[in-house]
Chain A
Amino acid sequence: MNDASPRDDAASLEAVSVSKSFGGVRALSEASLRAFPGEVHALVGENGAGKSTLIKLLGGRLRADSGVIRLRGAAVALKTPDAAHRLGCWTVFQELTLLPAMSVAENLLLRREPRGAFGLTSQRRLIAAAEALFARFGIREIDPGALVEDLPLADRQVIEIVRALSHDPDILLLDEPTSALMERETAWLFGEVRRLRDAGRTIVFTSHRWHEIAAIADRITVFRGGRDVGSFTTLDEDEAVTLMTGQRVETLYPPRPTAPASAPALTVEGLAGGRLVSASFSLRRGEILGIGGLAGHGHRELFLMLFGAMARKAGRILREGREIRPRSPRQAIQAGIALVPEDRKTEGLLLPLSVGDNLTLAVLGRESRFGVLRRRRLRSLAAAMVARLKVRMPAITSPVAALSGGNQQKILLGRWLLADCAVLLFYDVTRGVDVATKHEIYELMTALAGAGRAILYYSSDAEELAHLAHRVLVLREGQIAAELPAESLTAERIVAAAMREPAAA
């Protein structure tokens, strides 16, 4: 760990003791940041540490309650995104700012549309200009005439990044730009970021993936509880985690519980649909069965079909030996199968409703008498679950929207625990979740397996699978390409099997 030595040259971007509160909650308290020209500066910290708030302040989306922001030494008031843009400061926000029912070209060129006679633009001009932009940044896979809403999340993220890059930013702020990107696109982004850095620009970015930070950051500033706790030129992951959490996390991964040799809780025979060509396997009680492989090879379809959220083309699903045909999530839940999705905000939680309401949503039928809810019992169930999951929140009556990402994920987990589902489908649940919460989710998962729940677990992070799963099935091109038992489980083997390379001995 190397403290950043004070530099002689002037900072290009400075935030000095900025604070920001929402309602009564302090998101930033006297936080500071100094970034320099020709530097890639990583902001790291848990969800809720204030990184996104700081980026919104620097991008003109929010105004600080107190503190000073300086660009190239001069104090500035970033009242609007436009004000930031005029100073050469462009931001890719975590929540994308694309307009869904408008074309890619319209989005890319918003407010600088190429204009012809009478100052009017046309779709033809827009598309030509967008094609030129894509060509400049080496993007060939996105159709400028398509509507944004028809594109996958990764493409949208790329469009948002291209839009910021196309302004030739002096300062580029990227809030978790890679969480929606695949490896190839991440490599593209890092190439562009390095190009900007070498041209003397300043890039500030946030990420929860340490290998990315290690690969590209020149300087790392750690945030905890709304303020910066240190700035470093070198820092290893353990040190960072210690700083981020304020405590040492001894081991990130809890020990695997021993898998009992019991009868299968879930058996899948020749399941097919969408990109999934055929999958057969069985999952025992108390087992964590990992599903690995590159995204887009049928994982999503497998999980959605098991949860009844997608129609099956072929195959059988057996619960405890009896065939079930879940045609809706409701039927799947009745059969004791629950899904914890990656995108908790749109696929699971009701954001404006309270923590308690979200937790008890799946048991309302069970916990009511003659159609009337047993409110006191529901309250105590929710309170017990919140305590068990160590949810950090203002109050059990606060809307779930007020919680950080990791805590939202815990609420969703808690809902299925209350519903007492025997089979839990975990689909990339730790994506975009901070280290400390990841650790708690791992502990919870192993505890659930230890208590006899059957867990099917897909993760885009092979390291996680290698540490937590009893065995891992690797999906490639819609089929199970390999089964790796616990004895030979390593992240490298999982990746190798996914890429069709012969596994190293």
Chain B
Amino acid sequence: MTPPRRAPLSQALARHLGLALVATLLVIAVIVYAALYLVTQGRLPGGFELTASVNNTMPLALAALARAIVALTRGLDLSIGGIIDLSNALAALYLGTNAASMIVASALILLAGAGLGLINGALVAYGRLQPILVTLATLAIFQGLAIRVLPQPGGAVPESYTALLVNTGAPYALIYVLALMLLWTVLRRSQAGIALLAIGNDEAAAAANGIDPVATKLVAYTLSGLIAAGAGLFLAASATAGDATTGNGYTLTSIVAVVLGGVSLFGGRGSGIGAILGAFVTTMIVNILFFAHIDPLYQSFYEGAFLVIAVVLAEGIGRLVRRRRVQT
């Protein structure tokens, strides 16, 4: 009997279907965007537009990666927006002006984010509470803390910091995107990453294999907090000042990005790279709506409609591929 082995390419495609779909979606979105740009502006988008898009997307890409890591464990972290707010507010006040203080302050802010994530993780893992409930509560708490830290939008982010994180001259931020993807790849191939996926697949089965669900959840929420704090830093850098309420939008848009990126909110399926690409698709949709001269009032209507269509299509394609896979 010959083994029913499949070609490596088709196997990889089956395993990374979500990733393939979101990459295709991104290509289509970029083409539509470029076409609209050409029609309305009389030329193709260039380096400036690329730089602006990448810079604009960085906070969302980070928020999406944070969300994906928790989603893979079958969890939900609604507090991401709150952690972004707090890190944003702290950055505006304490970055300082010299290189040393900026580095120390940034590191401390990231650490604070990780600490807040750890609190979420501890409540979920030890308290065995519903993640949605825990993080809805901590979202409000973190938002409150952020307002307390920075009651009025203000503070200042040094120019050099902005130049480093969101350089408007050239798309240096692409380096950060690649670094994020690398971070995910390392995680996915490490024991911690495999444990994340495993408990998202089936917590009881993972535990029977000696994986510690408590430790794994602590790691997931801590990483989520850390990365969300990073999103706050990028946000502060691009606004060159702090605002303790800008994180709000990221709580829900990061869910959109993650779902478009092929990460299942039911856990165990998907990749962080998909979530990052999903963030770029989300940005592109906003760009497309802008150049299509859609009234900003109706923007959320079209975003919602697009999301439903994209998810239904992805599900349909997934089912088709799956049926073929099971038959072969």
Contacts and interface: CB of A to CB of B under 8 A. Distances in A.
Interface string A116-143: 0011111100000000000000001111
Given A81-B209, A101-B201, A150-B325, A143 B6 contact: yes
Interface string B168-198: 0000000000000000001001110010011
A119 B190 contact: yes
Given A97-B209, A101-B268, A141-B1, A113 B14 contact: no
A100 B198 CA distance: 9
B24 interface: no
Interface in B193-213: 194, 197-198, 201-202, 204-211
Interface in A89-131: 93, 96-103, 106, 110-111, 113, 118-123
A97 B208 contact: yes
B100 interface: no
B305 interface: no
A61 B206 CA distance: 11
A113 B194 contact: yes
A99 B14 CA distance: 16
Given A110-B194, A120-B186, A150-B325, A140 B11 contact: no
Contacts of A113: 191, 194
B325 A141 contact: no
B6 to A, nearest CB: 7
A103 B6 CA distance: 13
Contacts of B8: 145
Contact of A145 (B11, B190, B201, B209): B11
Interface in B1-30: 1, 3-6, 8, 11, 14-15
B210 A81 contact: yes
B191 A61 contact: no
A256 B95 CA distance: 87
A141 B4 contact: yes
A143 B268 CA distance: 21
A99 B208 contact: no
Nearest to B205: A97
A81 B207 contact: yes
Interface in B31-87: none
B269 interface: yes
Q: Which residue of A59, A113, A120 has the most chain B CB atoms within 10 A of its CB atom?
A: A120
Contacts of A343: none
A80 interface: yes
Nearest to A152: B326
Interface string A33-63: 0000000000000000000000000010100
Nearest to A103: B15
A101 B205 CA distance: 12
A59 B209 CA distance: 11
Interface residues of B, number: 31
A61 B325 CA distance: 34
Nearest to A121: B189
A150 B198 contact: no
A140 B197 CA distance: 27
A140 B189 contact: no
Main secondary structure of the interface of A (DSSP, over half): loop
Contacts of A106: 194
Nearest to A61: B208
Contacts of B191: 111, 113, 119
Given A99-B268, A143-B5, A111 B211 contact: yes
Contacts of B326: 150
Main secondary structure of the interface of B (DSSP, over half): helix
Nearest to A116: B189
A100 B15 contact: no
Given A101-B268, A111-B211, A143-B3, A120 B189 contact: yes
A117 to B, nearest CB: 10
A417 interface: no
A122 B8 CA distance: 14
Contacts of B3: 140-143
Nearest to A106: B194
Contacts of B205: 96-99
A143 B3 CA distance: 7
Contacts of A98: 205
Given A102-B201, A113-B191, A143 B4 contact: yes
Contacts of B207: 81
A106 B1 CA distance: 24
Contacts of B14: 147
Contact of A100 (B186, B190, B194, B202): B202
Nearest to A99: B201
A99 B322 CA distance: 17
Contacts of A198: none
A100 B189 CA distance: 18
Contacts of A123: 15
A195 B137 CA distance: 57
Given A61-B208, A85-B210, A141-B3, A102 B198 contact: yes
B206 A101 contact: no
A118 B207 CA distance: 26
A168 interface: no
Contacts of B206: 97, 99
Q: Which residue of B6, B8, B210 has the most chain A CB atoms within 10 A of its CB atom?
A: B210
Contacts of B189: 120-122
Given A82-B210, A100-B201, A110-B209, A140 B1 contact: yes
B209 A111 contact: yes
Interface string B290-328: 000000000000000000000000000000001001100
A138 to B, nearest CB: 12
Nearest to B268: A101
Contacts of B190: 119-121
Contacts of A143: 3-6, 11
Contacts of A118: 186
A420 to B, nearest CB: 36
Contacts of A100: 201-202, 268
Nearest to A86: B210
A123 B185 CA distance: 12
A247 B289 CA distance: 77
A52 to B, nearest CB: 13
A102 B210 contact: no
A85 B322 CA distance: 35
11 contacts: A97-B204, A97-B208, A101-B197, A102-B198, A106-B194, A110-B198, A120-B189, A121-B189, A143-B3, A146-B6, A146-B11
Interface of B: 1, 3-6, 8, 11, 14-15, 186, 189-191, 194, 197-198, 201-202, 204-211, 268-269, 322, 325-326
Counting from the closest, the 5 A-B pairs by CB-CB distance are: A99-B201, A97-B205, A120-B189, A97-B208, A82-B210
Given A97-B206, A99-B268, A100-B202, 9 more contacts: A80-B210, A85-B210, A96-B205, A97-B208, A102-B198, A110-B209, A113-B191, A113-B194, A141-B1
